[in-house]
Structure formats: structure tokens, C-alpha cells
């Protein structure tokens, strides 16, 4: 249970579910179609068939990487998993959660003066869901971050 009314129980994972479903479905379909074509073309040698299957696996792998982003909030902080990186943040490190109109995903303004993109919350094909997730992460950050508490007291 959450210690704040209206906030979700932790841990909570934010990820673009529809985008992920499309990417995973496409990865499976592309792999299946290219592999089937490689097996059905009688003129291909074994090496050529193998190159078709490896190309299909490479394309599928790229789509799997694109489906990887998520943001996981737990009692001690937030883990941001992007396409090729993962970063763990304490609540106090997050000063602001931003999703402005036109942004491709949420940006976290950090106490070290940098901004971290959080691709796990993106308005792509589920804009309203991304807005709700950004608001929830913002509320969690404000409730749990000492920086957020100081900002509201001053």
C-alpha cells in the first residue's frame, strides 16, 4: 500500500504497453516471414538460408531493444531503463518530471543539473496513458523526494 492517498503502491512499472505490443508483434512477424521465405526458396544454398535467418534475428533483436524502455519506481528510488542504458536514481536526485506538449517522452531534471530522458513514458500511440503516467511519477517524486519537500516548503 502507498503511504499517500491517490498514489499507487510501490513498486510500480511504467512502460509504453501499446508501443511494446506493436514492436514485439512486428519482431515475431518479421522473423517468421523472413525465415519462412528462406526455407521455401529452393534456389537458396544452406549458407544463404542461414544468412536470411540471421538477418531476421538481427531485425527482431533491434525491435526487441526498442521495446525495452521502462521506468520502475520503488521505495528507494527510480530505475530508468532506456534502449541501451539503465540508470538508478534516488528519489532526492529527481527535481522535476517533465512531459511537455510535443516531447517524445518524459524528461527527468536531476539534481546534478542534467536531464535524463525516460523512454518508458512516451505519448506515441497512447498519449493519455503517458500523461497519466507522467503525472503519477511526478506525484510520487514530489511525495518521496527531499528536494521536492524542500521546494514545497520554501
Residues ≥6 apart with Cβ < 8 Å to 120: 13, 14, 15, 16, 69, 70, 71, 80, 81, 82, 105, 106
What's the rounded mean pLDDT across residues 47-58? Answer: 97
Task: Tell me the pTM.
Answer: 0.82
Element (H, E) at 78: strand 77-81
Q: How confident is the model at residue 146 (pLDDT cuts 50, 70, 90)?
A: low
**Would you state the torsion angle of the CA atoms of residues 26, 83, 101, 90, taken in this order, to the nearest 10 degrees?**
140
Q: What is the tens place of the pLDDT at every residue in 76-95?
A: 999 999 999 999 999 999 99
Total domains in the chain come to 2
Q: What is the pLDDT of residue 126?
A: 87
The mean-pLDDT minimum among 15-19, 25-29, 56-60 falls in 15-19
Residue 3 has pLDDT above 70, yes or no: no
Identify whether residues 53 and 102 lie together within a single domain.
no
Beta bridge partners of 94: 110
Task: Please report whether residue 79 resides in a domain.
Answer: yes
- The whole domain housing 141 covers 70-153
What pLDDT is recorded for position 7?
84
What is the Cα Rg of the chain in Å? 20
Asked whether residue 131 falls in the same domain as residue 80, the answer is yes
Measured distance CA(67)–CA(43) in Å, rounded: 35
- 100 and 146 part of one domain: yes
Amino acid at each position: 500500500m502507498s503511504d499517500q492517498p491517490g498514489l499507487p503502491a510501490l513498486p510500480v512499472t511504467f512502460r509504453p504497453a501499446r508501443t511494446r505490443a506493436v514492436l514485439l508483434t512486428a519482431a515475431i512477424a518479421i522473423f517468421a516471414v523472413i525465415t519462412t521465405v528462406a526455407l521455401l526458396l529452393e534456389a537458396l544454398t544452406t549458407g544463404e538460408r542461414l544468412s536470411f535467418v540471421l538477418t531476421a534475428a538481427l531485425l527482431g533483436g533491434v525491435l526487441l531493444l526498442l521495446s525495452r524502455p521502462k521506468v520502475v519506481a520503488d521505495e528507494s528510488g527510480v530505475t530508468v531503463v532506456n534502449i541501451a542504458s539503465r540508470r538508478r536514481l534516488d528519489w532526492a536526485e529527481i527535481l522535476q518530471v517533465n512531459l511537455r506538449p510535443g516531447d517524445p517522452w518524459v524528461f527527468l531534471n536531476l539534481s546534478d543539473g542534467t536531464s535524463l530522458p525516460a523512454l518508458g513514458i512516451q505519448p506515441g500511440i497512447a498519449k493519455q496513458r503517458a500523461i497519466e503516467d507522467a503525472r503519477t511519477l511526478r506525484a510520487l517524486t514530489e511525495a518521496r523526494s527531499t528536494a521536492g519537500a524542500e521546494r514545497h516548503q520554501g
